[in-house]
Amino acid sequence: MIRWFWLGLALVAAVFVGVGPGQAEEAPLSIGVATMLPDGIIHLRLRAPLPGGGSGEGEFDYPPGDPDYLAILAHLGGLKPGETKPVSPWPDNPPEKR
């Protein structure tokens, strides 16, 4: 749950940086990269610009069996061991967990 908070914070920061009055809000095409390790762990390296300048970056590991593992895998459009792909921003309102 804590990790989702940081992902959400990164997304909010990414949306508001560089947006002035009258400018359209645009999310970045990628907020980082995801790699699946040989043992199936999804390693996320995410970044976000911060309001007022600077940026934040974080790394997160999701092993198979983690409650968020399948949602992250679906968001990435699948991932195979040894594969790396860009991570698109999550939607503003992620689906509720069941």
Question: Domain segments of the chain: what residues?
Answer: 2-18+27-87
Evaluate if pTM is beyond 0.85: no
Q: Per-residue pLDDT for 4 more than 80? A: no
- Rounded CA-CA distance 56/5 in Å is 14
Length of the chain: 98
For 49-80, the pLDDT digits (tens) are: 888 888 899 999 999 999 999 999 999 999 99
pLDDT above 90 as % of the chain:
51
pLDDT recorded at residue 98: 52
Closest CA to 87 of 49, 35, 25, 21: 35
**Spatial strand order in the sheet of 55-62:** 55-62, 42-49, 32-36, 84-87
CB distance 86 to 29 below 8 Å: yes
